[in-house]
Structure formats: structure tokens, C-alpha cells
Amino acid sequence: MELLLKEDVEHLGVRGDIVKVRAGYGRNYLIPKGLALMATRANVKLIERERQRLVKLAEAELAAAQSLGEKLNATTLTFQRKAGENGTLYGSVTSMDIAEALAAQQLEIDRRRIVLKEAIKALGDYEVTVKLHRDVAATIKVSVVSDAPKPTTPDEHPPAGESVAS
């Protein structure tokens, strides 16, 4: 089955390409999701007329993605989680947690664009990649810290009977 792509589809093609796919994939996924049209002469002519608009749209999307990428590269997120003595988290930090933290900073990112091979399950500093566009990827610094209060040492408290001057 030959289809004309209306949107970029990862591992298949970019907007405006005519691709050959299996009938079930085209009928059951690409066409209902609005990602492709049947590659008829009328649809091909329609896309050729829209190609100029699509080029301008692609340039605008790329510029927006690069601008957002610069903001994300400067972003550091800190998560406080309960952790065991050896630094293992009770739970994890997932792409959904990262997307929610970004939304709190007025940076709306779809969680599926956040690339985590697996959830973060230990304390520490991590670099997480966000795919914004096929040509633009940003890196966010994620720090996972324990929410338990730090144990105090005798050096931090004044000896009994002495007061601290304010």
C-alpha cells in the first residue's frame, strides 16, 4: 500500500514522502491517526501545492525547537525522593515526573519526547535527553536527592550553655 505522509513518522519517512507500507499498518494506524493519506493523484497534487506552506511550517517548527532546546539545555531539575542507606530510591523518577516538573516551569514537553532507557532508581546527577525535533535534541540536568534530613554532627551545634549570636 502506498501512502503519502502528512506528518513525520519515525523510522518511516518525513512529511510529503510517498512510502510503501503493509496494508494493515496503513489502514489501522497511519490513516486513522491522521499521519498519512492514500497516495492518489489528487492527494499528491494537493501535497505538491502545499509543499511551500510545508517548507515554511518546517522552518518555523525547527526554529521553535531550537529556541526551546536552548532553554532546556540551561534547565536543571531537582527531585527529592525517599532513599535507602545505599542510595537506592523507594520508587523512581520517570519521564512523566520530568514532564510535570518542566510543566511547572512553563516548559510544556510531551513525556514521550523525554528519552529515558529506564526510570532513575538511585540518588545522583543525571543527564536526560529530550527529542524536540528530528534535528534538535536537548539535554536536561536531573539531580535526585534524598528527602531525609542530613544527620547533624557535633560541629554544627554550639556546646551546651553557649548561645549563638545573631
How many Cα neighbours within 13 Å face the side chain of 22? 4
Model confidence band, residue 150 (pLDDT cutoffs 50, 70, 90)? low
| Residue 84 is assigned to a structural domain of this protein | yes
Is the pLDDT at 57 greater than 90? The verdict is no
* Region of residue 91 (left: phi > 0; alpha: psi -120 to 50; beta: else): left
| Residue 151 is assigned to a structural domain of this protein | no
How far from chain centre, in Å, is Cα 4? Answer: 27
Q: What is the pTM of this model?
A: 0.63
What pLDDT is attached to residue 128? Answer: 93
What pLDDT is attached to residue 159? Answer: 56
Average confidence (pLDDT) over 52-77: 88
Q: How many domains is the chain partitioned into structurally?
A: 2
CATH number at residue 44: 3.40.5.10
Model confidence band, residue 122 (pLDDT cutoffs 50, 70, 90)? very high
Which stretch of 94-98, 123-127, 131-135 has the lowest confidence by average pLDDT?
131-135
Is the same domain home to 82 and 37? no
Average confidence (pLDDT) over 103-128: 91
What pLDDT is attached to residue 148? Answer: 74
| Contact between residue 68 and residue 134 where contact means Cβ atoms under 8 Å apart | no
Is the same domain home to 98 and 35? no
Is the pLDDT at 89 greater than 80? The verdict is yes
Is the pLDDT at 31 greater than 90? The verdict is yes
